[in-house]
Amino acid sequence: MVTELKLLVFPVDYPIKVVGRAGNMLRADIDAVMLRHAPDLEVARTSERLSENGNYLSISYTIVARSEAQVTALAAELAAQPHVIMVI
C-alpha cells in the first residue's frame, strides 16, 4: 500500500526567497516573474535586503499559493533567470 504525504493544503501562504547579483534589473525582472505566477501578489508582503558589500540582493515574497503546479512553475522560472543564484 502506497500512501501520499501531503505537506501543504492549498491555498496557503507560501514564502519564497530569491537571491541574485545586485543590479538595476534584478528586482524588476523577479517582480515580473512573480506577478505572472501570482498576480494577486501584495507589495506589503515583500522585502529585500542588500548584502554587506552590495554585491547580492535577497528578495523575500509571501504569496498565496493555489497549487503545487503553480509553486513548481514559479520556482523553475525564477531559477532560470540569468542573475538569480538561489531560490529558497
For the chain, what are the domain ranges?
23-87
pTM of the model: 0.88
DSSP the chain: ---------SSEEEEEEEEEE--TTHHHHHHHHHHHH-TT--GGGEEEEE-TTSSEEEEEEEEEE--HHHHHHHHHHHHTSTTEEEE-
Residue with cell 532560470: 80
* pLDDT one digit per residue (tens) for the chain, 88 residues: 555 556 889 999 999 999 999 998 999 999 999 999 999 999 999 999 999 999 999 999 999 999 999 999 999 999 999 999 999 9
